[in-house]
């Protein structure tokens, strides 16, 4: 049995090593004895379950020794003894010390079936651009060849129904049955096969981590800059997405480049559930037999790229053949790297564990967020909070595996704008372009930015050229509708834009 060493420390990130992949979010759960559904430590009471109730602090007697009548005094302050303080149950966690998952997530896991959402509503004469999803082609082929779908092809039947549904239903609920030939099928409760770009889809879970605006803007800019770099059509293009999560940016970017280049794309993701979701989505979009040929997902900690350490195969997560192809491509460097780092800083309490050989591995005992509250979904936590690295680590990894002419496209919270420049400089990257994004027109502050960088050459000078910063793009107008600029972005990604401000 591993023995705990007395040495403990606070780490900026989850330590690199075997423990990094032992959990999707090490330290997220507030109590190691609980299941991961126990939830993170309450941000309000810090796990103490109660708070000082200042309003309840009263004197029992007035100054003359008579019974006090609603005379409140401020004894509940720093320096007051515990006996003088009055406490109340924490109103955020209700005295549990941890915050339970959202009711929406728990409800989906306990009662709702899986779902294939209805396809987007397209305007008349709309022509969907981009590569056609493998499952969509299979469903249409079966429907044309047969009047009905046999039992072995029920997933295609449900997909066809969802893509042709005329009612206002959210989609088609499907039974919890696994189909070996259709890994993408949402066979578990709470899973949804959702629209992505064109007729490509992505597997997500209700109440958990889902793709967002910053993902599609990052993918769009990565596609546009790759096409502008003068790459010859059909030539080899090596692409890597760092911390790919459920595979939203990886798949959206690949969708935009697949028909234009001889694409070899990879995503690296440490979370086991996210990596599985990304692979299952790929089986829908490019077919399970083509995973590994053009697009692959490798489970691993992307910080190992900086150390040039091999990714481990944990519980059969990584196909050895796919890993071999990845390392050969990695040796040739990548023409395009993308990343959507988490935004919020976390402190990790760690202890040294003996592995029985005299060596030690640091294990995380708790994760304490420094900005706001920890997400109540275990999959959302590392996507939003810096468990395995922030923008600085993403820049280091990108600089390690970028080709001399390659570009790195990364998204970051605008509050961390200064960190992006500092991280890029430290990693030896040059800023080419900055795209500020506002959530709504008229807002003073930008919401996030997408940054395009490349490796510095020996003769590159450090420049602070303000011309590299583009005019901010607003997602919504003041009336809440899409702006014309964002609508154009959506349509270039084969997403029809309705409710546009004019």
What's the number of domains the chain is made of? 3
- The tens digit of pLDDT for each residue in 486-502 reads 999 999 999 998 766 65
> Are residue 178 and residue 141 in the same domain, yes or no?
yes
Contacts of 49 (CB under 8 A, 6+ apart): 42, 89, 90, 93, 95, 96, 97
| Inside any domain, residue 88 | no
74 band by pLDDT with thresholds 50, 70 and 90: very low
> Are residue 150 and residue 239 in the same domain, yes or no?
no
Q: Return the CATH number at 286.
A: 3.40.50.150
| Inside any domain, residue 89 | no
Q: Look over the chain and give the mean of its residue pLDDT values, rounded to a whole number.
A: 85
| Inside any domain, residue 63 | no
- The tens digit of pLDDT for each residue in 49-62 reads 888 876 655 555 55
Residue 138 has pLDDT above 60, yes or no: yes
Residue 277 has pLDDT above 90, yes or no: yes
**Which structure tokens are listed for 160?**
């066809």
Q: Tell me, what's the pLDDT at 71?
A: 44
Strand, helix or coil for residue 110:
helix
| Inside any domain, residue 396 | yes
Residue 82 has pLDDT above 80, yes or no: no
> Are residue 249 and residue 124 in the same domain, yes or no?
no
| Inside any domain, residue 45 | no
- Chosen domain end from 158, 190, 206: 206
Q: Tell me, what's the pLDDT at 65?
A: 58
The partner residues of 127 in beta bridges, in order of sequence, read none
- Distance of alpha carbon 205 from alpha carbon 194, whole angstroms: 10
- The tens digit of pLDDT for each residue in 434-472 reads 999 999 999 999 999 999 999 987 555 555 566 899 999
Q: Tell me, what's the pLDDT at 434?
A: 98
> Are residue 349 and residue 446 in the same domain, yes or no?
yes
Beta strand 171-174 with 201-205: parallel, antiparallel or unpaired?
unpaired
- Distance of alpha carbon 27 from alpha carbon 367, whole angstroms: 5
pTM: 0.87
Q: Tell me, what's the pLDDT at 387?
A: 96
Task: Find the domain containing 489 and state its range.
Answer: 471-502
Residue 416 has pLDDT above 90, yes or no: yes
> Are residue 374 and residue 476 in the same domain, yes or no?
no
Q: Tell me, what's the pLDDT at 494?
A: 96
End-to-end CA distance of the chain: 67
> Are residue 492 and residue 462 in the same domain, yes or no?
no
> Are residue 181 and residue 246 in the same domain, yes or no?
no
């Amino acid at each position: 049995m591993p023995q705990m060493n007395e040495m403990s420390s606070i780490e900026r990130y989850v330590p690199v090593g075997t423990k990094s992949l032992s959990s999707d979010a090490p330290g997220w759960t507030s109590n190691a004895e609980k299941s991961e559904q126990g939830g993170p430590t309450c941000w309000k009471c810090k796990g103490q379950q109660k708070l000082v109730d200042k309003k309840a602090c009263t004197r029992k007697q007035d100054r003359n020794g008579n019974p006090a009548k609603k005379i409140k005094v401020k004894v509940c302050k720093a320096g007051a003894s515990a006996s003088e303080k009055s406490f109340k149950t924490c109103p955020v966690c209700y005295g549990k010390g941890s915050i339970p998952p959202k009711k929406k997530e728990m409800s989906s896991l306990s009662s709702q079936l899986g779902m294939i959402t209805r396809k987007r509503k397209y305007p008349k004469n709309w022509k969907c651009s981009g590569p056609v999803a493998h499952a969509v082609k299979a469903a249409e082929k079966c429907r044309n060849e047969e009047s009905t779908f046999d039992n072995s092809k029920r997933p295609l039947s449900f997909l066809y129904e969802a893509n042709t549904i005329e009612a206002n239903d959210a989609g088609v609920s499907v039974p919890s049955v696994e189909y070996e030939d259709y890994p993408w099928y949402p066979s578990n409760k709470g899973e949804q096969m959702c629209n992505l770009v064109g007729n490509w889809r992505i597997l997500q879970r209700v109440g958990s981590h889902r793709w967002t605006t910053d993902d599609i803007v990052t993918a769009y800019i990565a596609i546009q800059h790759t096409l502008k770099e003068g790459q010859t059509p059909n030539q080899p293009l090596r692409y890597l997405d760092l911390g790919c999560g459920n595979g939203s940016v990886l798949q959206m970017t690949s969708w935009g480049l697949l028909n234009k280049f001889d694409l070899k794309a990879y995503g690296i993701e440490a979370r086991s559930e996210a990596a599985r979701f990304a692979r299952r989505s790929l089986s829908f979009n490019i077919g399970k037999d083509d995973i590994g040929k053009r697009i692959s997902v490798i489970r691993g900690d992307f910080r190992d790229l900086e150390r040039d350490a091999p990714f481990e195969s944990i519980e059969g997560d990584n196909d050895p053949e796919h890993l071999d192809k990845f390392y050969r491509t990695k040796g040739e460097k990548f023409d395009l790297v993308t990343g959507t780092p988490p935004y919020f800083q976390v402190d990790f309490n760690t202890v040294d564990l003996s592995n029985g050989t005299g060596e030690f591995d640091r294990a995380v005992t708790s994760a304490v967020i420094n900005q706001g509250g920890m997400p109540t979904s275990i999959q959302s936590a590392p996507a939003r909070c810096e468990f395995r690295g922030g923008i600085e680590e993403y820049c280091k990894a990108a600089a390690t595996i970028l080709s001399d002419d390659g570009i790195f496209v990364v998204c970051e919270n605008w509050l961390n704008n200064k960190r992006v420049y500092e991280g890029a400089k430290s990693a030896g990257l040059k800023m080419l372009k900055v795209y500020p994004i506002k959530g709504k027109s008229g807002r003073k502050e930008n919401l996030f930015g997408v940054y395009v960088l490349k490796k510095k050459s020996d003769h590159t000078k450090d420049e602070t050229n303000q011309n590299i910063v583009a005019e901010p793009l607003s997602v919504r107008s003041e009336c809440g509708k899409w702006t014309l600029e964002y609508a154009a972005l959506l349509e270039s990604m084969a997403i029809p834009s309705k409710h546009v401000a004019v």
